[in-house]
C-alpha cells in the first residue's frame, strides 16, 4: 500500500503596494526570508490591475501613493469586489491617519522608522494569525448555525410525528371508546336503568378528552402550511387557545395571505405559538390577538396581549422561548420586534420582507 503524502500548504502571499521601489524590494526580500510569497505593485493602479487576476492573503499598503491615497485605493477595491485584508505603512507624523485607516478595516499599521524592517515579519505574522482566527471563528459560527437549524428541523418533524400519532392513534381509540359508551347508554335502560346517568357523564367526559386531544394534536402538527394553510393554522391556534384556557383569543386576517414556502410558514406559526404560550404563562392576560397581513413588499405577523407586560431590561435577558423566536425569524430573514411595558401588555411583531 502506497503511503499517503500530504502536500504542504502554500505559503501566504503578500502584496506590497509602495511607490518607493527600493523600500518595496527591501520588504520583499525580508518577507521572502520569512517564508512568504510576495508581489510588488509600485502604484495604486498597478495594485488594482494585479488584483484583477491574482489573489493575495494580505496587502501592505503605503498610506500615500503618487496616484492614490491609501483610503481611496481601499474604497476602490471594496467597490469592485476585490477587497482583502491589509496593513498600513506610514511615515512618522501620520499615525493619526493610520488610526483612521484602522477604523476602515486595516488590521494594524507600521511606521517607517529605524526598526521598521526588523519588525515587519512579526507584524505580518500577527496579522495573518488574526485573519486565520477570524476565518476559523466564522466557520465555527456557520457550523453552529447549521446545527441549530438542523436541531429545529428535527424538533419540528418530531412534533409533527407526535401530533399525527396523537390524532391517528389515541384520537381514534378515544373515538371508539365514545361510540362504545354511547352503545352502552342505549343498552342499559332495560337492564340497569340507574347506570344511564353515569354512562352519559362518562360519554361527555370522553368527548371532552377527544376535543382536547385534537387541539393538542393540531398544535403539535398544524394543518398543511403551504399556500393559505398558515391562516387556517393560526385560526385553529386562536380557537384552541380560547377553548382550553378561556382567554379571549382571536385571529384577524382581513385579506387572504398565501405563502408558497412551507418552511417559512412553519417558522411563522411556531413564532406565533411561542408568543401565545409566553402570554399565557407570564402576562396574566385576558385577551390575545393574532393578526396576519400581507402586502407586495412584506408580510406582518403580530401577536398582542393586554397582560401585565414587562420592563425592557427583561428583554435583554431572553428566556429560551424568546431566543428561539428570534432564531426562527433569523432563519427566514425576518425581523422580530418585542415591545412591552408594565401593565400595558406585550406586542410581538414579525416582519418578513418579500422580494417578489
- Residue 176, pLDDT score: 64
CA 250 – CA 270 distance, rounded (Å) = 17
Local confidence band at 221 (pLDDT 50, 70, 90 cut-offs): low
pLDDT at 80 over 70: yes
Structural domain total, the chain: 2
- Residue 15, pLDDT score: 94
The DSSP bridge pattern shows strands 37-41 and 58-62 to be unpaired
Local confidence band at 82 (pLDDT 50, 70, 90 cut-offs): confident
Flag whether 132 is in a domain: no
Q: Tell me which of 126-135, 147-156, 231-240, 307-316 is least confident.
A: 307-316
Instruction: Answer with the residue of higher pLDDT: 272 or 142.
Output: 272
- Residue 316, pLDDT score: 47
Domain CATH code at residue 64: 3.40.50.2300
Flag whether 33 is in a domain: yes
- In the predicted model, what is the mean pLDDT of residues 337-348? 85
pLDDT at 95 over 90: no
The DSSP bridge pattern shows strands 58-62 and 13-17 to be parallel
- Residue 351, pLDDT score: 95
Q: pLDDT tens digits for 111-130? A: 887 788 888 988 899 999 99
Listing from the earlier edge strand, what are the strands of the sheet with 13-17?
37-41, 13-17, 58-62, 86-90, 108-111
Mark which of 97, 113, 129 sits at the end of a domain: 113
- In the predicted model, what is the mean pLDDT of residues 188-212? 69
Mark which of 98, 113, 128 sits at the end of a domain: 113
In the chain, helix, strand, coil percent, each to 5?
Answer: 55, 20, 25
What pTM, to 2 d.p., does this model score? Answer: 0.54
pLDDT at 34 over 50: yes
Q: Tell me which of 219-228, 246-255, 347-356 is least confident.
A: 219-228
Mark which of 81, 113, 145 sits at the end of a domain: 113
Domain CATH code at residue 284: 3.30.565.10
Flag whether 57 is in a domain: yes
Flag whether 314 is in a domain: yes
Distance linking the first and last C-alpha atoms of the chain? 57
pLDDT at 6 over 60: no
Cα 208 to the chain's mean position, in Å? 40
Local confidence band at 303 (pLDDT 50, 70, 90 cut-offs): very high
Residue numbers of the domain that contains 310: 223-356
Amino acid at each position: 500500500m502506497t503511503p499517503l503524502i500530504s502536500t504542504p500548504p502554500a505559503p501566504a502571499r503578500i502584496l506590497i503596494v509602495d511607490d518607493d521601489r527600493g523600500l518595496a524590494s527591501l520588504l520583499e526580500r525580508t518577507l521572502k526570508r520569512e517564508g512568504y510569497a510576495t508581489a510588488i505593485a509600485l502604484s495604486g493602479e498597478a495594485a488594482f490591475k494585479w488584483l484583477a487576476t491574482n489573489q493575495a492573503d494580505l496587502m501592505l499598503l503605503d498610506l500615500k501613493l503618487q496616484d492614490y491615497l491609501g483610503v481611496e485605493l481601499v474604497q476602490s477595491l471594496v467597490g469592485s469586489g476585490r477587497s482583502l485584508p491589509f496593513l498600513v505603512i506610514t511615515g512618522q507624523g501620520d499615525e493619526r491617519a493610520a488610526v483612521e485607516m484602522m477604523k476602515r478595516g486595516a488590521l494594524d499599521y507600521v511606521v517607517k522608522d529605524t526598526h521598521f524592517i526588523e519588525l515587519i515579519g512579526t507584524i505580518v505574522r500577527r496579522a495573518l494569525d488574526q485573519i486565520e482566527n477570524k476565518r476559523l471563528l466564522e466557520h465555527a459560527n456557520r457550523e453552529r448555525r447549521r446545527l441549530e437549524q438542523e436541531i429545529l428541523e428535527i424538533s419540528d418533524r418530531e412534533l409533527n410525528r407526535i401530533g399525527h400519532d396523537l390524532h391517528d392513534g389515541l384520537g381514534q381509540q378515544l373515538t371508539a371508546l365514545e361510540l362504545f359508551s354511547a352503545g352502552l347508554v342505549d343498552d342499559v335502560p332495560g337492564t340497569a336503568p340507574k347506570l344511564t346517568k353515569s354512562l352519559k357523564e362518562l360519554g361527555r367526559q370522553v368527548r371532552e378528552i377527544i376535543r382536547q386531544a385534537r387541539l393538542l394534536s393540531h398544535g403539535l402538527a398544524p394543518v398543511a402550511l403551504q399556500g393559505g394553510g398558515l391562516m387556517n393554522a393560526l385560526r385553529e391556534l386562536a380557537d384552541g387557545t380560547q377553548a382550553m384556557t378561556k382567554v379571549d383569543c382571536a385571529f384577524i386576517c382581513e385579506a387572504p395571505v398565501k405563502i408558497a414556502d412551507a418552511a417559512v410558514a412553519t417558522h411563522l406559526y411556531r413564532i406565533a405559538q411561542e408568543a401565545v404560550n409566553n402570554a399565557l404563562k407570564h402576562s396574566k392576560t385576558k385577551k390575545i390577538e393574532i393578526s396576519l397581513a400581507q402586502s407586495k413588499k412584506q408580510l406582518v405577523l403580530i401577536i398582542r396581549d393586554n397582560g401585565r407586560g414587562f420592563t425592557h431590561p427583561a428583554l435583554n435577558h431572553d428566556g429560551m422561548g424568546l431566543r428561539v423566536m428570534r432564531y426562527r425569524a433569523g432563519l427566514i430573514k425576518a425581523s422580530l420586534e418585542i415591545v412591552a411595558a408594565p401593565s400595558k401588555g406585550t406586542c410581538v411583531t414579525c416582519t418578513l420582507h418579500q422580494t417578489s
